Structure 1
Amino acid sequence: MLDDTLKAQLQQYLALLRQPIRLIASLDDSETGKDMAELLNTIVGLSDKVTLDTSGTDARKPSFAVVREGETQGVRFAGLPLGHEFTSLVLALLWTGGHPPKVEQDVIDGIKTLEGDFNFEVYMSLSCHNCPDVVQALSLMAIVNPKVKTVVIEGGAFQKEVEERQIMAVPMVFLNGQVFGSGRMGVEEIVAKLDTNSEAREAAKLNEKEPFDVLIVGGGPAGAAAAVYAARKGIRVGVAAERFGGQVNDTMAIENYISVLETDGPKMAAAMEAQVRHYEVDIMNLQRAAKVVPATTPGGLTQVHMANGGVLSARSVILSTGARWRNVNVPGEEQYKNKGVAYCPHCDGPLFKGKRVAVIGGGNSGVEAAIDLAGLVAHVSLVEFADALKADAVLVSKLKSLPNVSIHVNAQTTEITGDGQKVTGLSYKDRANEALHHIELAGVFVQIGLVPNTEFLKGTIELSKFGEIVVDAKCHTNLPGVFAAGDVTTVPYKQIVIAAGEGAKAALSAFDYLIRQPVVTPAAAVTA
């Protein structure tokens, strides 16, 4: 089950346990049940602070709970937490055993003060790189607050349950039997969603903050690089981000970032945030910008209004709000999101095992998605609007070699159809002869590029016809003291390494702007 290297690493982690824990298992005779028994016995054999109780009677079998000695409630894993979720298992063991989590104290306090009964069920797949954040957040909440109960369910082991609940995207979270949310969520976001007063409190905190020298809006590669470069100048820097890491969090494999041979998005996002925190930058997560109010005097303060009502001020601002997946904008897409319409083949592909799916988009991301899915599903139909695939030749060659893939070019998607509950097909028009076609399938993966997050800037900052922020070679926008960097700008080639470089450039430009402004007293700065 675990190789010698992994066993040695796990033993080192288990040495950090501060108090005894118990694994309460509800097993069966299935292959998964036998594998689970082997895994649990391995864990017990690596630490004298862990014991195994196989008398569990939970209805979901095979499953096991991680509990403190003398207690019966804890985090429950239904199915094997391996793959991307092995780290979630290790953390559940450590946190239950008293090892402190690397989470801000105010977040822990927020979890402890939650009132009510919260029964969470989170469905995940072992290949999903978005799932661990949600699993770990809900696990921590169950360990910290006894009013929170969490069950982590591996969809592959409970396929019947997944089909009955019509789960077509992971992570999928149910609270007290009702859908709570899907997709990546951090612990701060989940707590904020449960605590109805948190938004007003957060806005009040923002309003109390002193003006920043540099305020960065967005926490992707551009924002992180800007924060590091600005903070190293010894000035006051803040980052307001909806989620730190941005689109990087959704990237499975990163193999072209210079000096880093291979990594994945969540690891890179975590490393970026750790480096920014190292420089004592004020990171404000779960913050979505709603409006930018330019300074009214030369060298004055620019205001950034947040969606929660809070307002931040700064002598200079760097906008790095990035981009998001582009929608097809056809009938059925919105209705069937997470019900067959998906945007992450790595996360949701395993849910369509043995079924027929389509991929919309013939660029690198679309062709790569089709190749990945072909190894899991019965058949992949790739639908491309242009008259030829735009992906790299090596990818196109690989795609054409696969026996269970059909390619449709000059194909305009016109509708995603369904039965009211889930996707049943895709309709498209042949642009060469206007003929209409329909493909029966269970899932549609949309891979047609990105759209910049600039809606809140319309009428304030100059935007291109594609909605990107227009910048010059030094990342200046048309507003004095306001700069922009990364995928949100007109700079070509939306790549992590380019965004990081642009973020560094924007920080240097902002610093150059600041040192050329007249010196003002703090009182004057506040009223400017």
Structure 2
Amino acid sequence: MLDATLKTQLKAYLEKVTQPFEIVASLDDSDKSRELSGLLHEIVGLTDKISLREDGSDDRKPSFALNRPNGNISLRFAGIPMGHEFTSLVLALLQVGGHPSKLAADVIEQIKNIPGEFNFETYYSLSCQNCPDVVQALNLMAVLNPNIRHVAIDGALFQDEVEKRQIMSVPSIYLNGELFGQGRMDAEQILAKIDTGAATREAEKLNSKEAFDVLVVGGGPAGAAAAIYAARKGIRTGVAAERFGGQVLDTMAIENFISVQETEGPKLARALEEHVKQYEVDIMNLQRATALVPAKNAGDLHEIKFESGASLKAKTVILSTGARWREMNVPGEQEYRNRGVAYCPHCDGPLFKGKRVAVIGGGNSGVEAAIDLAGIVSHVTLIEFDSQLRADAVLQRKLHSLPNVKVITSALTSEVKGDGQKVTGLVYKDRNSDEFINVELEGIFVQIGLLPNSEWLKGTIELSNRGEIIVDARGETSLPGIFAAGDVTTVPYKQIVIAVGEGAKASLSAFDHLIRTT
């Protein structure tokens, strides 16, 4: 399964294994079991530190466990972790083999010391760029703490479990048999949910911090650039973010970031964070801003309040909270979110193999989603509000060449239908005839643009009628000492490369404000 180049790279990685361990495979006579057996034989053939047994008795087949001689970990893959999960496999091999993690020391100690018994199951798809973060975090937690057990399950391979649990979104995480969470989560986010005192301790720590010269709110490309430019000026800089990377984490292929021919969102997000960490920047993750309290007088400090109860103060603030997927806001959408209503075709598409789905939106994102899904599902219905599609001509030609795609224009999606458990269809209004039409299907992928994360600023700062923060050519807002950058602002064209430039500009403007007023 592994080509020569990949084998060479993997062999180099496996030289970092210091503690011998064994792989125990549970197999049957299926093609997938033979495929997994071949992969595992190739892996153990690259190092004398890992041995292989194929006499496992796990009910899920094919699957395999990574076992130390002292038996103090419980880490298993159910399926063949290739695609996006191959990195998860490599990291698991290294960490079980004694290679240390790069996770912060205080987080590692928190994992080791957390009390209780935790049996995690994560359902993933091989095309999901969000899933590896969850799988890798829980695998590491299982390595560090013997009371934490984890099995990563390929949902496409174990369809019976997916159907039984009504899983329609990945990653889906179960803890002790109950749904724990869906979507991207890292180790700190998982810990915040299972360690009930963590949020309070973190809030107390933030409340004790001294005021920043520049406080960046948001950790996407704009926030990362702003932090770097501020730190390079030698001033006290902080970044408070709900999740570092922002919307980039949910982006699949990136081919228009100048000087980087091709990359993926999570990879770029990690690179941004690592770049920020090269400077003296105080990064505060898992912090959702809820209020801005502007300085009342010249020389006073601005204050940002957070959902955790924390509060930070700063001489200047750069708002870069980005945007999120726009929702349809129709009956049934929230009820069936992650139960047939989805927003990431790359992540969740494989769960709808052989089924009927709809894509809402005829821009580039919608048409690309329809093209991708057409290769997986039985039929795609693309629904566009306008009288014509808005995607690039080359994408439209590809879309219309596909035999299992139907395009409906001048249509207003009006309702999501379901049976109480999952989506069964949708209703749209024909804008030409005013007729309401039912479409029977199992999945709906919403691709209708972005919504700025600015609700918490209403009544405090000047916003456009779309909710974007109004900025001038220097990134200045309606409030002195408050700047903004990226997708949350009125700057046109929501692109990563533009957000980076706007973040740098806002930071330079903030520094200019500081030297003129302090």
TM-score, with structure 2 as normaliser: 0.99
Alpha-carbon separation, structure 2, partners of 1:144 and 1:46: 25
Could you report, residue by residue, the CA deviation over 1:417-453 in whole angstroms, capped at 9, with x for unpaired residues? 0111000101101001101111110100000001110
Give the secondary-structure state (helix, strand or coil) at the position aligned to 1:201. helix
Which residue number corresponds to residue 394 of structure 2? 394
Which residue number corresponds to residue 26 of structure 1? 26
Task: For 2:401, give the aligned amino acid.
Answer: S
Which residue number corresponds to residue 334 of structure 1? 334
Could you report, residue by residue, the CA deviation over 1:34-82 in whole angstroms, capped at 9, with x for unpaired residues? 1111111111111111011222111111111112223164210001011
Alpha-carbon separation, structure 1, partners of 2:465 and 2:107: 41
Report if aligned partners of 1:21, 1:50 keep a CA contact under 8 Å in 2.
yes
Which residue number corresponds to residue 525 of structure 1? none
Report if aligned partners of 2:410, 2:431 keep a CA contact under 8 Å in 1.
yes
Report if aligned partners of 2:72, 2:146 keep a CA contact under 8 Å in 1.
no
Does the alignment pair 1:363 with 2:370?
no
Which residue number corresponds to residue 117 of structure 2? 117
Which residue number corresponds to residue 35 of structure 1? 35
Give the secondary-structure state (helix, strand or coil) at the position aligned to 1:157. coil
Map 1:484-523 to 2 at 5 A.
484-518=484-518
Alpha-carbon separation, structure 2, partners of 1:430 and 1:156: 35
Map 1:89-488 to 2 at 5 A.
89-488=89-488
> 1:214, CA displacement in angstroms?
0.5
Report if aligned partners of 1:166, 1:339 keep a CA contact under 8 Å in 2.
yes
Alpha-carbon separation, structure 2, partners of 1:453 and 1:110: 31
Alpha-carbon separation, structure 1, partners of 2:284 and 2:72: 37
Alpha-carbon separation, structure 2, partners of 1:103 and 1:399: 43
Alpha-carbon separation, structure 1, partners of 2:14 and 2:58: 26
Alpha-carbon separation, structure 1, partners of 2:236 and 2:52: 51
Which residue number corresponds to residue 526 of structure 1? none
Does the alignment pair 1:56 with 2:53?
no
Alpha-carbon separation, structure 1, partners of 2:471 and 2:351: 42
Give the secondary-structure state (helix, strand or coil) at the position aligned to 2:512. helix
Give the secondary-structure state (helix, strand or coil) at the position aligned to 2:277. helix
Alpha-carbon separation, structure 1, partners of 2:26 and 2:499: 49
Alpha-carbon separation, structure 2, partners of 1:158 and 1:22: 24
Task: For 1:165, give the aligned amino acid.
Answer: R
Alpha-carbon separation, structure 2, partners of 1:40 and 1:369: 34
Alpha-carbon separation, structure 1, partners of 2:240 and 2:15: 37
Alpha-carbon separation, structure 1, partners of 2:443 and 2:72: 40
Give the secondary-structure state (helix, strand or coil) at the position aligned to 2:253. coil
Alpha-carbon separation, structure 2, partners of 1:109 and 1:17: 22
Give the secondary-structure state (helix, strand or coil) at the position aligned to 1:39. helix
Map 1:57-76 to 2 at 5 A.
57-71=57-71, 73-76=73-76
Alpha-carbon separation, structure 2, partners of 1:503 and 1:484: 8
Could you report, residue by residue, the CA deviation over 1:337-388 in whole angstroms, capped at 9, with x for unpaired residues? 1110000000000111111100000111111101111111111000011111
Could you report, residue by residue, the CA deviation over 1:384-435 in whole angstroms, capped at 9, with x for unpaired residues? 1111111111111111111111111110001110111000101101001101
Alpha-carbon separation, structure 2, partners of 1:345 and 1:46: 36
Alpha-carbon separation, structure 2, partners of 1:15 and 1:291: 50
Report if aligned partners of 1:137, 1:187 keep a CA contact under 8 Å in 2.
yes
> 1:160, CA displacement in angstroms?
1.2
Alpha-carbon separation, structure 2, partners of 1:113 and 1:441: 47
Report if aligned partners of 1:65, 1:73 keep a CA contact under 8 Å in 2.
no
Q: Which moved more, 1:67-76 or 1:313-322?
A: 67-76
Give the secondary-structure state (helix, strand or coil) at the position aligned to 1:92. helix
Report if aligned partners of 2:60, 2:78 keep a CA contact under 8 Å in 1.
yes
Give the secondary-structure state (helix, strand or coil) at the position aligned to 1:299. coil
> 1:28, CA displacement in angstroms?
1.1
Could you report, residue by residue, the CA deviation over 1:208-229 in whole angstroms, capped at 9, with x for unpaired residues? 1111110000000100010111
Task: For 1:280, give the aligned amino acid.
Answer: E
Give the secondary-structure state (helix, strand or coil) at the position aligned to 1:516. helix
Alpha-carbon separation, structure 2, partners of 1:393 and 1:51: 54
Report if aligned partners of 1:359, 1:444 keep a CA contact under 8 Å in 2.
yes
Identity %: 66
Instruction: Point out 4+ residue stretches in structure 1 off by more than 6 angstroms.
Output: none
> 1:305, CA displacement in angstroms?
0.7
> 1:517, CA displacement in angstroms?
1.4
Alpha-carbon separation, structure 2, partners of 1:296 and 1:442: 54
Alpha-carbon separation, structure 2, partners of 1:229 and 1:135: 33
Alpha-carbon separation, structure 1, partners of 2:432 and 2:423: 27
> 1:296, CA displacement in angstroms?
2.1
Extract unaligned runs of 5+ from structure 2: none
Give the secondary-structure state (helix, strand or coil) at the position aligned to 1:156. coil
Alpha-carbon separation, structure 1, partners of 2:311 and 2:209: 9
Give the secondary-structure state (helix, strand or coil) at the position aligned to 1:81. coil
Alpha-carbon separation, structure 1, partners of 2:58 and 2:436: 51
Could you report, residue by residue, the CA deviation over 1:97-155 in whole angstroms, capped at 9, with x for unpaired residues? 11111110111111112111100000001000000000001101111011100000011
Alpha-carbon separation, structure 1, partners of 2:325 and 2:299: 36
Extract unaligned runs of 5+ from structure 1: 519-528
Alpha-carbon separation, structure 2, partners of 1:399 and 1:446: 17
Task: For 1:263, give the aligned amino acid.
Answer: T
Task: For 2:55, give the aligned amino acid.
Answer: S
Report if aligned partners of 2:464, 2:470 keep a CA contact under 8 Å in 1.
yes
> 1:299, CA displacement in angstroms?
2.8
> 1:165, CA displacement in angstroms?
1.1
> 1:25, CA displacement in angstroms?
1.2
> 1:27, CA displacement in angstroms?
1.2
Alpha-carbon separation, structure 1, partners of 2:280 and 2:13: 28
> 1:300, CA displacement in angstroms?
2.1
Give the secondary-structure state (helix, strand or coil) at the position aligned to 2:254. coil
Give the secondary-structure state (helix, strand or coil) at the position aligned to 1:318. strand
Give the secondary-structure state (helix, strand or coil) at the position aligned to 1:269. helix
Report if aligned partners of 1:254, 1:263 keep a CA contact under 8 Å in 2.
yes
Report if aligned partners of 1:20, 1:97 keep a CA contact under 8 Å in 2.
yes
Which residue number corresponds to residue 522 of structure 1? none
Alpha-carbon separation, structure 2, partners of 1:73 and 1:514: 52
Task: For 2:484, give the aligned amino acid.
Answer: A
